[in-house]
Amino acid sequence: MKLFCHFRKLLASLMILLVGMSSTRADLRVASLSTVTTDLAKQIGGNHVNVEGIIKAGIDPHEFEPTPGDVKKVADANLVLLTGKGMEGYLSKLEEAAGGSAKFVNVGKDIPSLTMTEQGKKVEDPHWWHSVENMKGATRVVAEAFEKADPANASSYDKNASAYLAKLDELERWIRVKLASLPHDRRKLITSHDALGYFARDYDFTIYPVKGVSTAEDPSSQHVKEIIGVIKDQGVKAIFFETIENPRAVQQIADETGAKAGASLYSDGLGEAEGNTYDLMMRHNVSAIVNGLK
Ligand SMILES: [Zn+2]
């Protein structure tokens, strides 16, 4: 009996060792250049994938420059996820610095682009994840990349992706129900940078950005005056600060029009504590928009 007990203990430790070894061997190392793709990689990868989020919550992706430490993380990864459409202006430098082994997966590449005007030029709008439909496409892209890079765990990635797609369907239904309480003539969004174009397209909003596409430039006083005019003409109820913006111009507009400042919106990525998954981020934004405008 005692011997049997020992044998069982030995067997148990051996099992733990084997499981540990096999998961270490199967692990896919993923680096991610957006909090959105970091969350997606975790949802699809489960415990087969180690995700290194290079751009963390609260970092402005428009202004980001990789450090030597980031370059090393990218060089050590099997796959590097990026959102694309011009968001990662440093990409070719990073690819070169990291060397040839990491495979870059441009998650947004095949998602149809909206265009936006920046300083008189038409550019691709990089904020595609504000459309749940686009996020479904991104889910398929990431699942396929994981399955190709780590075929041994393909069925697990496939299963996780299906479950996540179902979760996105549920999110979409929740958004439609929530927005049903907001009449179409109230669907006017004034935000401090033009990040919600895909959201506006999906849910019939008109956007009046205080800034252009990038967070780098300050709005001209002429532009601020135009926005004040729009708010007064259209009877807009609220304007929205963003989580990583200097809200000075937005505050000035609020003061001059009496429109109230709605809760902060997540525009360029996920939150640190609240809104720290894609699902929670979208629910936060939709609730803030509905509460502000109704
Ligand atoms: Zn942005």
In-domain check, residue 130: yes
Do 127 and 111 meet the contact criterion of CB atoms below 8 Å apart? no
Between CA 22 and CA 292 the distance in angstroms is: 51
Same domain, yes or no: 116 and 147: yes
200 and 82 part of one domain: no
Q: Check whether residue 143 and residue 198 sit in a common domain.
A: no
Gap from CA of 266 to ligand 1 centroid (Å): 9
Q: Are residues 149 and 188 in the same domain?
A: no
Q: How many domains does the chain have?
A: 2
Residues with Cβ within 8 Å of 47's Cβ and at least 6 positions away in sequence, in order, are: 23
CA–centroid distance, residue 272 to ligand 1 (Å):
17
Determine the distance separating the centroid of ligand 1 and the alpha carbon of 5, expressed in angstroms: 60
Alpha carbon of 72 to ligand 1 centroid (Å)? 26
Its sign, for the CA torsion 68, 69, 72, 77, is negative
pLDDT of residue 13: 57
Same domain (yes/no): 43, 120: yes
Distance 156 CA to ligand 1 centre (A): 33
Q: What is the pLDDT of residue 1?
A: 46
Q: State which residues form the domain around 117.
A: 22-156
Q: How much distance in Å is there from the Cα of 224 to the middle of ligand 1?
A: 19
What is the distance in A from the centroid of ligand 1 to the CA of 192? 10
Is residue 59 domain-resident?
yes
Residue 202 alpha carbon to ligand 1 centre in Å: 18
**Based on the domain organization, do 140 and 213 belong to the same domain?**
no
How far is the centre of ligand 1, averaged over its atoms, from the C-alpha of 193 (Å)? 7
Quote the ligand 1 centre to 125 CA distance (angstroms).
9
Cβ atoms within 10 Å of 155's Cβ, excluding its own: 10
Q: What is the mean pLDDT of each run of 10 residues along the chain (294 residues)?
A: 52 52 64 98 97 95 95 96 97 92 94 86 94 98 98 97 98 98 93 88 89 60 83 88 65 86 90 94 97 94
Q: What angle do CA 106, 111, 114 make, to 5 degrees?
A: 115
**Are 104 and 200 found together in one domain?**
no
Taking the centre of ligand 1 as the mean of its atom positions, its distance from the CA of residue 63, in whole angstroms, is: 10
Spacing, Cα 242 to ligand 1 middle (Å): 10
Q: Are residues 80 and 112 in the same domain?
A: yes
Find the 126 Cα to ligand 1 centroid distance in Å.
Answer: 7
> In sequence order, which residues have a C-beta less than 8 Å from that of residue 175 and are 6 or more positions away?
132, 203, 282, 286
Distance between start and end Cα atoms, the chain = 72
Do 28 and 109 sit in the same domain of this protein? yes
- Is residue 162 in some structural domain? no
Cross-strand partners of 121:
118
Contacts of 178 (CB under 8 A, 6+ apart): 286, 287, 290
Indicate whether 83 belongs to any domain: yes
Same domain (yes/no): 282, 198: yes
Residue 204 belongs to a domain: yes
Q: In this structure, are 109 and 207 located in the same domain? A: no
CA 10 to centroid of ligand 1, rounded, Å? 55
DSSP state of 155: H
Same domain, 136 and 247: no
Cα–ligand 1 centroid distance for 174 (angstroms)? 25
